[in-house]
Every structure is written in structure tokens, then in C-alpha cells.
Amino acid sequence: MQDEHIVQMFWNRDEAAIAAVREKYDNYLFVIAQNILSNREDSMECVNDTYLAAWNSIPPHKPQVLQSYLSKLTRRISIDAYRRNHRLKRKGSAYDISLQELDECISDSVTPESKLEYKNLAKAISDFLRSIPKTERTLFICRYYFMDSLRDSAKYCHLRETTAKTLLYRTRCSLRDFLKKEGFEL
Amino acid sequence: MRNDSIMDALNDLDEDLVLEANQCRKLRKHHDKRWIVPVAVAASFCIVVSVLFYECGFGLPAQNNENTATIVNDDQQLSTHDLQFSMQENMEVQPEKQEEPVRECPSVIVTLENWTEDGFTGTVTELVDTDTIPLGRRVAVKTDSNTILSVYSDDTVVHKKLSDFSAIQATKLQIVFRPWGDDGFAEDTESACYIYTIYAEQIIPIEAGAE
């Protein structure tokens, strides 16, 4: 079923839209949640929360690309769940590892307090990613957006693990320099 | 926390960038599965070849056909409970039996009870050389016109057809369980006291009360 049709079903408040989304994107969303939470039950719960969030937000939203919209919902819900579960203690999930790696990209003093500042930061990162080669870009997004493991991220980009690790390090350094140039404090 | 900020900001990444990266993930997953079809085809081919080899019997040892060279006996009725004597003048003997060395054959002496048109019944009253037929067991022997009786008299033995004898005169028969051999026949002499030896393929005990 086409995404446009599914979005229209959401707009028409047709509950079959949930089933259609589940059938098409359930595995995709589950992988994103699982990468962050490393827990099957929690991941399934987050995916179900995603469907509920989509039902509650469409309308008024009308996403152009349903897949991206859903993945963002899942990612945000999963990260929130992770933070709730691990408020004081860090564990070795992919999220935690990615978090540590991104330590060097931005300083503690930068704490965007408004949604606009988050959007500006996101825009800057997007601009940065467009300026780098496709392999590095894909590698970065697989690692830090989809929270894929280093091994999987390297596999997706047809790279060896050690090469991917080096490329990610260089990309993080370049991002830091880029954000510094854009006025974000490091 | 600083790195959490960037993690949150990544959530608002441009959609086309996310889609482009996801496309590479999908392609790689599909690429990883490309081995499945060739391996499946190869496995199917191996199975087909194996089945063909098995069906054609290649490489398998020759199987003995148990149905060849069996003893043919029109009167023979075999079962797990009933064995019957069945004798023919000319029997087809299994090649293996013809090649067997001569040995003492199990035999019993049967006190006759009843002569019938196609045989007789009796009771085993003496064991000569057997561990297959118990004492006191009733036996049934099927005979036909070609049944040969070997008549022992002192040191001599003659073989003649059953029809040439007065069955009533015989009260005892020694039944020898042995393969049919090439015995010659001599002129017969008749005596009611003689013990007749019937060379038979099998001795069959009959159930109690059965005829």
C-alpha cells in the first residue's frame, strides 16, 4: 500500500491505517527501537507507542515521507524510554556507545532550550552531512541516527570495521569544526 | 547533557538524508541474502542426483531376490501355526540347499490316526532326531499321487509311491524332515509292520483339536 494512501487513511480516521503501517514498517521500526533499548519487550512497546503517536499527530501533520516520520517518532520515543530507564546509570547499548562517541562534537555549555535551537542544530548537521562524501554520510547516519552497531554500519557501507571506525572519528572531528564555525560553542 | 542534545537534534535531520542512508541499509540486507538462491539450487540439484542414483541402484550392493529358486509345492500351506508335509516327486530345490553338506536330518515317528484321501494325521510318539517337533504333537501330512514312501525292511529300503501301498497297514511312519534328494526306486515289498519313512520338506504341528 502506498504511503500517500496510508496517510490519507490517517486523515480519514480509518483505523485500518494502523494495521497498514504495522504491516509495512513494523520490522523497520523495531530495529530502530531495539538498537537503542537492547530489550525486545521495551522495543515492541515503543513501536506500539509510535503507532499511537502517529494516530494522534496525523492530522494535523501530513508527512511527506511516512517512513521518515515514523522513524523519527520511534527514535524519539525509544530515546526517551532509554533515558527514563537509565536515569542514573549508563549501560552498554548502542545508544550509550553512540552518545559517548558524540561527546567530542559539542560542549556541555550548549543546551538548546528552545525547539528552534534544536532545529537550527539539526539544520547545521544536515548541511554538514551534505558536504561530505556519500559513504561517510551514510556511515554517520547509520551509526548515530539508526543506532546500528559499528559492524553493521560498516557492512552497509561496504567497509571494514576498522576503516569505518576511522572514518567515523574523522567525521566527528569535522562536524565539531563545522559546528564551531557555525557559531555553536564547543 | 551535551551529547544528548546532538542526539535529539539528529531526530530532525533532513528526511532525504535519512532515506538515502536507509536505502543503503536495505540494499546491503538484500545483498546478504543473495547467496540463498544459489545455495538452494545447488542443494536441490544434489538431492535430485542422489535420488536418481538410489533409484537406478548405482553403487548399491546387489540385493538377493528371495523369490528365486524357492521350493515349489502345490500342497504346501504355510503359516506360523501350521506346517504341513507336502511332497512331490520332483521338487525345485533351492540351489543353496543342494550345495549343503549331507547331514543328519531331524525325524520323528508318528503313530497314525487317520488316513485321508490327500494325507494322514497322527501323533508324534517318538523323537528320532529333532528339536523342532515336540513329543505328543499332532501332525498333519499332505500327500499326493507322487508322494514317495521309503520302506525300510531289515537292512534294505525301497522307495515307492504312496498309492502303491495299503495305507491301512501302516500304523507308524517315520517322518524325516529333509530336503528332497535323488533317491532311486526299487521293487517294493509290502508289510504291515514296516515303518515307512516319508521324506518331506516340512513337518507341521497342528493345533489341538484341529484336523
Query: B-chain residues within 8 Å CB-CB of A69?
Result: 15
Least confident of A37-41, A93-97, A181-185: A93-97
HEC-encoded secondary structure of chain B? CHHHHHHHHHCCCCHHHHHHHHHHHHHHHHHHHHHHHHHHHHHHHHHHHHHHHHHHCCCCCCCCCCCCCCCCCCCCCCCCCCCCEECCCCCCCCHHHHCCCCCCCCEEEEEEEEEECCEEEEEEEEEEECCCCCCCCEEEEECCCCCEEEEEECCEEEEEEHHHCCHHHCCEEEEEECCCCCCCCCCCCCCCCCEEEEEECCCEECCCCCC
**pLDDT at residue A34, rounded to an integer:** 92
- Closest chain B C-alpha to A41 CA, distance in angstroms: 23
Could A107 and B6 be called an inter-chain contact, meaning their C-beta atoms sit closer than 8 Å? no
Residue A145, chain B, CB below 8 Å: the answer is: yes
Highest mean pLDDT of the ranges A12-16, A91-95, B81-85: A12-16
Residue-level pLDDT at A102: 75
At B165 the pLDDT is 58
Q: Is-contact B10 A144, C-beta < 8 A? A: yes
User: CA-to-CA distance for A3 and A21, rounded, in angstroms?
Assistant: 9
Question: What distance in Å separates the CA atoms of residue A157 and residue A31, rounded to the nearest whole number?
Answer: 18
Give the percent of chain B with pLDDT over 90.
Answer: 1
> Is residue A159's pLDDT more than 70?
yes
For residues B120-137, give the mean pLDDT: 77
Query: Is A29 near chain B, with CB under 8 Å?
Result: no
Residue B169: pLDDT band with limits 50, 70, 90: low
Say whether residue A72 is in contact with chain B using an 8 A CB cutoff: yes
Q: Report the mean per-residue pLDDT for chain A.
A: 85
pLDDT band per the 50, 70, 90 thresholds, residue A60:
confident
Q: Which of residues 9-28 of B touch A (CB under 8 A)?
A: 9-15, 17-22, 24-25, 28
pLDDT at B1 over 80: no
Comparing alpha-carbon positions, the chain B residue that sits nearest to A115 is: B9
Residues B53-92: pLDDT tens digits? 777 765 555 444 433 323 333 333 333 233 333 333 333 4
Most confident of A57-61, A165-169, B60-64, B185-189: A165-169
In what helix (H) or strand (E) does residue A63 lie, and over which residues does it extend? none
Q: Which of B12, B26, B31 to mutate to test the interface with A (most CBs of A within 10 A)?
A: B12
| Burial class of residue B127, CB neighbours in 10 A (0-12, 13-18, 19+) | middle
Ranking A177-186, B131-140, B194-203 by mean pLDDT, the lowest is: B194-203
Q: What is the structure's pLDDT at B104?
A: 47
Interface of B with A in 26-85 (CB under 8 A): 28, 32
The Cα B205–Cα B186 span in angstroms is 31
CA dist B209 and B8 (Å) reads 99
